[in-house]
Chain A
Amino acid sequence: MSKSYSLFKKDLHSELRTRYAINSLAMFIIVTLSVILFSIGNETISQSLTGGLFWVVIFFTSMSGLSRVFVSEEERGTSLTLQLIAAPSTVFSGKLLFNLILVFAMNTVIAILYSALFEAFIIKNFGLFIVSFILGNIGLAFASTIIAAIISKAGAKGTLYPVLSFPILLPLILTSVQLTLFSIDGTSFETAQFELAIVVCYDVIILTVSYLLFDFIWKE
């Protein structure tokens, strides 16, 4: 685990120097929220619509920045260096840790800005929102990391990432939207149990499959 943490530290240090992902994520969040605000204008939107739009912003922002963990290594030609210094499981754990932190930081900023800008986005069951937000973010980080590893070896990386991510993330996004709507409606944990179980299962399955697949993806 300490080796993975060292890889995470290396990636964080590299990110702070190169600003590969942070700049594009920040710009994307600002642009997306502005476009939604301008398109709504003076109209009042329903509470249920704000829940859906919240995850739309999260999905597209993730598509713009989370692939960088592997794509930047591949584009700079440093993948080989990583192969020479670490076992595949170390590489995947380190990159996963980086994406987890990035997803949580990015989505927390989105949630704060979103709550401040959209009056209709009022959460009645805050506990349920936090739990679904955490589980949704974990699933998003897991899935986007393994998809990033797959597409980094391909030619048309930029196009392939959202195309491949959409079917894989769809069950997670749909369930997370439903859980957000429950939080807005003030639904209890007991009623949301089924959806919460789906997200937990999704997270476990994606993580297991990722570790099983990564060796084959990483080695040409």
Chain B
Amino acid sequence: MSEYSLFADSVNKTFGRRLIFKDIRFKLDSSTIFGISGPNGSGKSTLVKIIANIISPSSGKLIHNLNGSEIKPERLHNHIGLVSPYLVLYDEFTAYENLNYFSEIRGISFNNERVDNLLNKFLLFNRRDDLVKTYSSGMKQRLKFIFALMHSPQLIILDEPTSNLDDEGKEVVYELIKEEGSRNIVIIASNEKTDLLLCNERINLDEYKN
């Protein structure tokens, strides 16, 4: 089993003069479920984007290690799976086409078995050949989970993971968080108490403002 670790070293973020958070430090190893909480506008999504290497911190750094060696930033995307409300998949393609293109662009072979398993788990198998634009918001959210997990990432980042999901969908997600959290790093950014109850470590961004 690969050992993944994530180390945040004094991470600060400001937008112009506005401080979002400062001096965030943590070290996470595999088999951790880490929670990021805080009120609306506290910077949860900003921290998620920094961890996913989508935006840069104003100062400080995040170090991703796999089996003891640091992962180069340009290769990081193959180790991360992200689910978030601001993630949009291609409406003009079917679920299967979306997932197939994502595999090809990542440069990994399309794992039919894993994708079909995930489609079954998230109850989308029968709709796999329908255009994504015909999906409801809950179905799109479930497809985002498949997108995030299809390449078996070691770091799974879930920003508001249960938004738009019905009770059945939430159950599947909670089961998955527990399963993935037993071998990988799972980060949950949420305000939902039930989401945060799954975490074994947690930070509240309200405490990183001064």
**A residues at B contact (CB < 8 Å):** 2-3, 6-7, 9-10, 13-14, 17-18, 76-78, 80-90, 94, 219-220
Q: List 15 A-B contacts (CB under 8 A).
A: A6-B101, A9-B101, A13-B97, A17-B93, A76-B88, A80-B86, A81-B88, A81-B90, A83-B77, A84-B52, A86-B106, A88-B74, A90-B105, A219-B56, A220-B56
CB < 8 Å neighbour of B91 from A9, A10, A76, A85: A76
CB < 8 Å neighbour of A2 from B52, B86, B89, B107: B107
* Cβ-closest chain A residue relative to B76: A87
Given known A3-B105, A3-B106, A77-B86, contact A89–B54 (CB-CB < 8 A) = no
Residues of chain A within 8 A of B75, CB atoms compared: 87
Closest Cβ of chain A: how far from B32's Cβ, in Å?
21
Q: Could you tell me the distance between the alpha carbons of A219 and B52 in the complex, rounded to whole angstroms?
A: 11
Asked if A3 contacts B54 (CB within 8 A), the reply is: no
Does B82 have its Cβ within 8 Å of any Cβ on chain A? yes
Q: Could you tell me the distance between the alpha carbons of A177 and B169 in the complex, rounded to whole angstroms?
A: 61
Does B168 have its Cβ within 8 Å of any Cβ on chain A? no
Closest Cβ of chain B: how far from A69's Cβ, in Å?
14
Given known A10-B101, A80-B54, contact A17–B92 (CB-CB < 8 A) = yes
Asked if B105 contacts A80 (CB within 8 A), the reply is: no
CB < 8 Å neighbour of B104 from A6, A18, A78, A89: A6
Residue from A7, A17, A83, A85 whose CB has the most chain B CB atoms within 10 Å: A85
Residues of chain B within 8 A of A86, CB atoms compared: 77, 105-106
Given known A84-B82, A89-B74, A219-B54, contact A14–B90 (CB-CB < 8 A) = yes
* Cβ-closest chain A residue relative to B52: A84
CB < 8 Å neighbour of B106 from A13, A78, A85: A85
- Given A9-B104, A90-B105, list of 20 further CB < 8 A pairs? A3-B106, A6-B101, A6-B107, A7-B105, A10-B101, A13-B93, A17-B92, A80-B86, A80-B87, A84-B77, A84-B80, A84-B82, A84-B87, A85-B102, A85-B105, A86-B105, A87-B74, A87-B75, A219-B56, A220-B56
Does B55 have its Cβ within 8 Å of any Cβ on chain A? yes
**B residues at A contact (CB < 8 Å):** 52-56, 74-75, 77, 80, 82, 86-93, 97, 101-102, 104-107, 147
Residue from B82, B89, B101 whose CB has the most chain A CB atoms within 10 Å: B101
Residues of chain A within 8 A of B55, CB atoms compared: 219-220
Asked if A10 contacts B105 (CB within 8 A), the reply is: yes
Closest Cβ of chain A: how far from B97's Cβ, in Å?
8
Asked if B107 contacts A78 (CB within 8 A), the reply is: no
Q: Could you tell me the distance between the alpha carbons of A82 and B80 in the complex, rounded to whole angstroms?
A: 13
Given known A87-B75, A89-B74, contact A78–B88 (CB-CB < 8 A) = yes
Closest Cβ of chain B: how far from A92's Cβ, in Å?
12
Asked if B54 contacts A220 (CB within 8 A), the reply is: yes
Q: Sorted from nearest, which 6 A-B pairs have the closest CB atoms?
A: A6-B104, A77-B88, A87-B74, A17-B92, A10-B101, A3-B107
Closest Cβ of chain B: how far from A81's Cβ, in Å?
6
Q: Could you tell me the distance between the alpha carbons of A77 and B88 in the complex, rounded to whole angstroms?
A: 6
Closest Cβ of chain B: how far from A149's Cβ, in Å?
16
Asked if A78 contacts B89 (CB within 8 A), the reply is: yes
Q: Could you tell me the distance between the alpha carbons of A80 and B102 in the complex, rounded to whole angstroms?
A: 13
